[in-house]
A and B are shown apart, each in its own frame.
Chain A
Amino acid sequence: MLKLQCPDGDEGITPEGGLIALYGKIHKTISALPEISWKNVSIIIDDLSLMEVAANGSSDYVLDFLRYCRTLTSEFDCSLITLNHEDIYSSEDRPTFFIQMEYLADILIKAEPLATGLATDVHGQLTVSNKGRNKVSNFHFKVKENVVECFYPGRS
């Protein structure tokens, strides 16, 4: 797992510098793998709202970092998976960051509670929008110890 060195006080690491260095590390790690396994690589970022904190609020640098990581998906044919919290941005006047994120994504997965509230049998619902195939699906899910069970609404 790669670590992003977060600037804690003055350590001479700027947010921009830290993110550039992280991108470099990711690129280097994937390049070092045999070419045959490039498409099996998944870059998982958990989560972007914390990356903004690490960048001390410089969301533009985080967006740049995201765009650069996205180029890796075409360069190496790998996957990029990022997580964010919509409710943080919905209270903002200009939720640019979140809109940009949504725009960059090929597949958008929205996880939210059921409209009826919390339940023990169904923990929430997933809405999967696949832009490539122009398809939207809705599932219910239940989180278990080792797996997340997804099923169509009404079944379990």
Chain B
Amino acid sequence: GFVLINCATGYCSLQLNQESLISLHCVVFSFLTVATAMAAAKTRTSTFSRNLSTAAPSHGPGLKCGPNGTVFLSSGIPDLDKILGGGFPLGSVVMVMEDAEAPHHMLLLRNFMAQGLVLGQHLLYSSPARDPRGFLGTLPSPAASKDDKSRERDPDQEKGLRIAWQYKKYFGENQLDGQRDGKHEYSNEFDLRKPLERHFINGPRIDCVSIQDCPDLSTLRDRCATFLSQFPRNDGSISCAGRIAIQSFCAPQCAYSNMEWDMLSFIRSLKSMVRSSNSVAIITFPPSLLSPSFCKRWQHMADTLLSVKAIQDEDKELAQLLTGYQDMVGFLNVHKVARINTQVPVILEATTFSIKLQKRRYLVLECLNQAPVDGSSGTSYGTSGGCSSSSKTGNLDF
């Protein structure tokens, strides 16, 4: 058999019998020497080959096959799915860094939760509120298909105005694909003005946990373990997937919020439970409430790392630099994209997106577009003119 051990990504494939288990370490070293030798010799061949299954098994609703044997579920925001290359992969942990000045992380949470419920997936929701169930009443409903169609037409026309034709070739192939028939089985456009129908919220597939009065995290950990045991990962087709949404995990009103190592230990154990199940966990947290060193540790735990930022009111400099500034409610930054079963990283064209509410109903994410320089004013912008990505919106760098 062949052996490939790549500890850094957690991807490990072993085909050994009992006797050869002892020689495992020898193979590890030979892998390293082969890798270094190959790198030095600049050969393109490799002695390792990926064991691909020939046919992708069909899965239940709300699941889509991705590359490298991964399976995605939708974030509930079609634009975000596209940015992330399909959605959130099963077995991954998504972390969202909140901005204390605006509740934009709630937009991400609501769409994530509503998407799961609408497609029959199970949901475990935890928040520092005394009665987390109250939040379920704010979940949005899928947009009516009539509204959908009118929305589909506008972006094409808008894009025709904003982006010259020769740049269309730089867009991904699936950007302009129809996919509308299968679309509603995987992801929906959500109407933030329409609440989710009662029968979705009152179903048996939702469990809510309040973490406000918990002295330690063992209750939450046990609830997560019980929840995730319903979706064990095996090689067959997946009948059902689960979603865990943990809101404002280190909020100060929680009794455990000063137990830094315990919180980290919880995230670590949640991550390992999620990794061996068919589910996705989203954890939002306010980074300003953690010490810088722990904030970094939390960020390293994430498979997918996002952050949201508020837009200051009346920021005249930003208004001059960006088109469509008035419609923006905030910024979304993509810091890390989950990579499962592969060590090749994803390099995004852009990592900062504006959050807009189209018609005050639909959440859209757009690349930032630099406004034309006003030549009449006579001042020159000190910042660079390149349109590369930036994660520090405060510096006004593009």
Q: Chain A: residues with CB nearer than 8 A to chain B?
A: 1, 6, 8-9, 29-30, 32-33, 37, 40-44, 46-47, 49-50, 53-54, 56-57, 78-79, 81, 83, 85, 87-89, 91-92, 117-120, 123, 143-151
The interface residues of chain A lying within 8 Å CB-to-CB of B161 are: none
Take A42-B28, A85-B300 as given contacts and tell me if A149 and B42 are in contact as well, using a CB distance cutoff of 8 Å. Answer: yes
B184 in the interface (beta carbon within 8 A): no
The interface residues of chain A lying within 8 Å CB-to-CB of B134 are: none
> For the complex, what is the distance from the CA of A30 to the CA of B24, rounded to whole Å?
11
> For the complex, what is the distance from the CA of A78 to the CA of B28, rounded to whole Å?
12
> For the complex, what is the distance from the CA of A56 to the CA of B63, rounded to whole Å?
36
B344 contacts A143, C-beta separation under 8 Å: yes
Shortest B384–chain A CB gap in Å is 11
The answer, among A32, A50, A117, A147, for a CB contact under 8 Å with B39, is A147
Shortest B293–chain A CB gap in Å is 5
The interface residues of chain B lying within 8 Å CB-to-CB of A57 are: 260-261
B168 in the interface (beta carbon within 8 A): no
A41 contacts B39, C-beta separation under 8 Å: no
Chain B residue total in the interface (Cβ 8 A): 47
Q: A37-B23, A56-B262 are in contact. List 7 more A-B contacts (CB 8 A).
A: A1-B5, A32-B22, A37-B26, A43-B25, A53-B297, A88-B293, A143-B344
Q: Chain B: residues with CB nearer than 8 A to chain A?
A: 5, 7-8, 12, 14, 22-26, 28-30, 32, 35, 38-40, 42, 46, 48-50, 218, 221, 260-262, 264-265, 268-269, 291-293, 295-297, 300, 342-345, 347-348, 388-389
The interface residues of chain A lying within 8 Å CB-to-CB of B293 are: 88-89, 91-92
The interface residues of chain A lying within 8 Å CB-to-CB of B347 are: 118-120, 123
A147 contacts B25, C-beta separation under 8 Å: no
The interface residues of chain B lying within 8 Å CB-to-CB of A33 are: 22-23, 25-26
A40 contacts B29, C-beta separation under 8 Å: yes
Nearest 3 interchain pairs by C-beta: A91-B292, A46-B7, A57-B261
A146 contacts B42, C-beta separation under 8 Å: no
Shortest A45–chain B CB gap in Å is 8
> For the complex, what is the distance from the CA of A145 to the CA of B260, rounded to whole Å?
36
The interface residues of chain A lying within 8 Å CB-to-CB of B14 are: 1
Q: Chain B: which residue is nearest A120 at the CB level?
A: B347
> For the complex, what is the distance from the CA of A41 to the CA of B292, rounded to whole Å?
37
B296 contacts A87, C-beta separation under 8 Å: yes
A85 contacts B7, C-beta separation under 8 Å: no
The interface residues of chain B lying within 8 Å CB-to-CB of A50 are: 268
A83 contacts B261, C-beta separation under 8 Å: no
Interchain Cβ contacts under 8 Å between A and B, 24 examples: A1-B5, A1-B24, A6-B269, A9-B221, A29-B25, A33-B23, A41-B26, A42-B25, A54-B265, A56-B261, A56-B262, A56-B265, A57-B261, A79-B29, A88-B293, A88-B296, A89-B293, A91-B295, A117-B388, A118-B347, A145-B344, A147-B39, A147-B46, A149-B39
A42 contacts B268, C-beta separation under 8 Å: no
Q: Chain A: which residue is nearest B267 at the CB level?
A: A53
> For the complex, what is the distance from the CA of A43 to the CA of B12, rounded to whole Å?
16
> For the complex, what is the distance from the CA of A119 to the CA of B347, rounded to whole Å?
7
Of A29, A30, A40, A147, most buried by chain B (CB within 10 Å of CB) is: A147
> For the complex, what is the distance from the CA of A33 to the CA of B32, rounded to whole Å?
19
Q: Chain A: which residue is nearest B24 at the CB level?
A: A1
B42 contacts A151, C-beta separation under 8 Å: yes
The answer, among A9, A29, A56, for a CB contact under 8 Å with B218, is A9
Q: Chain A: which residue is nearest B342 at the CB level?
A: A145
> For the complex, what is the distance from the CA of A120 to the CA of B5, rounded to whole Å?
25
Q: Chain B: which residue is nearest A155 at the CB level?
A: B42
> For the complex, what is the distance from the CA of A54 to the CA of B264, rounded to whole Å?
9
Q: Chain B: which residue is nearest A79 at the CB level?
A: B29
